[in-house]
Amino acid sequence: MWDETEEQNVRLAWDKLGKDRFRDILNRARNEMLVKHKKSDIAYLHNLGPNWMKAEVWNELVAYWSSPEWRKKSQSAKINRMTVKDGSITKHACGSIKIEIHEDRLTKKLGRPPNKIEVFRATHTKKGADGVFIDGKSQRVDEDYASAIVEKYGSNSESPPIFDMDKWIEVSGGFNKGRVYGFGSSAKSQTSGSSTSQSCTSAYPGSSSQPAMTQEEIQQLIDEKASQMRAEMMAEILDQVRKELKTTGGTQFATSSHPTTSDSTNP
């Protein structure tokens, strides 16, 4: 269990994780239904939802996904993902897996929490290619960061930082829509003109007698608790799904008389 002074940080991390997981579940359901029913337009998925979701809830989602506002936002995100930077499209090797999951896996593999550079290299190098980066930008940023650290701290420094987020932001091109290359929006909480190895001060007065925790230690505690809470949340979701299936008899949703769902392909 973490120190009570870190309760707010852990809660924020958990809320973000929960939102990300829920969004992933909905995105996966939408894509699976498009493939299953051979549709290319989300609007034609009315009453064609997964059997674990109520029809009225699914249809509300379909209406939202079909709105001009959502389509515009989705198209903009697609264009941004395909933007050419540093001579190539910016990529990562995470697939649909979140960075936090990769950190958990690296922790188990290494027997200790990985540092940020290890996470970056694990998610930006080709599998089985022995350190070959997936694009030009990832290799350039990695090399520029290494040079910047030597320049700032010296090659013979006895206590180099675990990770200097400010230097990383500098060599990677700064914030882009609130996100930093390789680390997303999480980099915001790690910038203050110092490295992440610097100790954190308590947010509560009168607690200065307690040993300060480093950012790495805080992140480790958050990751451990998040893994536990993810498992608990999944158990609750599965229990709710079982109850829902028992109530509905486990049957698929009835097919709607909506005229656009009668064909297997779009008109």
Cβ-contact 149, 170 below 8 angstroms: no
The model's pLDDT over 221-249, given as tens digits with 9 standing for 90+, comes to 666 666 666 666 666 666 666 666 666 55
pTM exceeds cut of 0.75 = no
Q: CA triplet 191, 8, 195: central angle to 5 degrees?
A: 20
Q: Which of 59-68, 79-88, 215-224 has the highest mean pLDDT?
A: 59-68
* Residue listed under structure tokens 């307690």: 210
The model's pLDDT over 97-153, given as tens digits with 9 standing for 90+, comes to 566 777 888 888 889 888 888 888 888 888 766 778 888 888 888 899 888 888 888
SS3 56: helix
- pLDDT at res. 34: 92
Which H helix or E strand runs over 172? helix 165-172
pLDDT band at 47 (very low <50, low <70, confident <90, very high): very high
Least confident among 19-33, 61-75, 111-125, 217-231: 217-231
The fraction of the chain above a pLDDT of 90, given in percent, is 8
**Whole-number average pLDDT of the chain:** 71
Instruction: Give me the DSSP letters along 83-114.
Output: -EETTEE---S-TTS-HHHHHHHHHHHHTSPP
